[in-house]
Amino acid sequence: MNVARDGEIEPDLVRSRQRAGAMLIDVREDHERESGTAEGSVGAALPNLAENIDELVPDRKHELLLICGSGRRSKTARDLLQHRGYANVFSVSGGIERWRREGLPLIGASLDDDASERYSRHLLLPEVGVVGQRRLLGSRVALIGAGGLGAPVAMYLAAAGVGELSLIDDDVVERSNLQRQVIHREETIGSSKVDSAKAMLMALNPRLRVNAQAARVVAANVEELVRGHDIFIDGADNFPTRYLLDAASRQLGIPMVYGAVHRFTGQVSVFDPRREDSPCYRCLFPQPPSAAEAPNCSEAGVLGVLPGTIGLLQATEALKLLLGIGDPLVGRLLCYDALGARFRELVLPRDPDCPGCGPTAPEVGYEDLENVCSSA
């Protein structure tokens, strides 16, 4: 048998050794094997291998070929079995990753080769796996704003495999945007932000479906723009838009991931009307502040990297909501101070007197408020 150095065997030799009687054992966890395993292999996760191997292969002279994700765990398993007296044990070089690249037969894969390779690190997570990744691929997210916050949110959701992104923004790219809106480029100055962002996202993940809408969110169109999405993400730069989004969130029962930045600070929260204990945006800001109280970033400035930090947190919350994992920022306001490198969490309970979701609040309606700038 042609075996590489250090007790490894090349993937293209495995099938011939199987035909000669060798047993191929996949030592990955059960959830990892859901993304596909080598044809003819037997599953026996490394943590349980020692206690199961005697029943699985009683003959210490039987030839064993071990495979894992990249070849590391299979080497560990090889050493373990050799210590237990199995003399003819080899690790498959490069593991399933190389097996897949070389086009060798897989069974049980519910994702195609592109998706299995592209999202391989997600598939290793028990909390995601194939089931979670398929959920992401079938999800729809609306992103209001393709600027400072929208840039990192869009790029990371696209990379993570969210199936469809609706980009909603009526602005055009300006040179001053490039300091923080990293989804845009010099050559797209003057073009629509949603078209500029779409080009970057499609280059990152060609399978992504991008619905680019060069529109401003107003009372007349807010429901139409966000209806049918699993969640929507606030990347807006003004309070009137956020009040409209908050109303649509409550009316349609769609969670809203909130984020804002100002100079060197930012904040993130999740408003989820599906939960009885969740506050809404108006629990945080019952009434819009004055323009003097909420200067925009062209007046007050913003550290260029800050929207990236807050946008990444928003993207993380969005993925948690889509996957149904973790503890979303519902009822909590996460505040970040970049200069002090500190996070602070504030309890944000539901306000019984809230003009939006309180028991005496009027029925959900939409009103175009006078524009008050905020600092996104």
Question: What b-and-e string marks burial along 258-284, b requiring 16 or more CB atoms within 10 Å of the CB?
Answer: bbbbbeebbbbbbbbbeeeebbbbbbb
- The Cα-based distances of 166 to 52, 75, 211, 259 in angstroms read 49, 45, 5, 18
Select which of 297, 354, 357, 373 is catalytic.
297
Q: Please say if 297 is a catalytic residue.
A: yes
**Contact at 8 Å (CB) between 186 and 174?**
no
CA 248 to chain centre: 24
Pair of tokens at residue 226: 């966000």
Pair of tokens at residue 255: 């969670």
Cα 214 to Cα 28: distance, rounded to the nearest angstrom: 46
Question: What b-and-e string marks burial along 107-139, b requiring 16 or more CB atoms within 10 Å of the CB?
Answer: eebebeeebbebbbebbeeeebbbebbbbbbeb
Cα 182 to Cα 197: distance, rounded to the nearest angstrom: 9
Angle at 152 between CA 149 and CA 157, to 5 degrees: 115
- For the chain, how big is the Rg over CA atoms in Å? 26
Residues in the chain: 376
Q: Residue 320, class by beta-carbon neighbours within 10 Å (0-12 exposed, 13-18 middle, 19+ buried)?
A: middle
- For the annotated catalytic residues, the residue numbers are 297
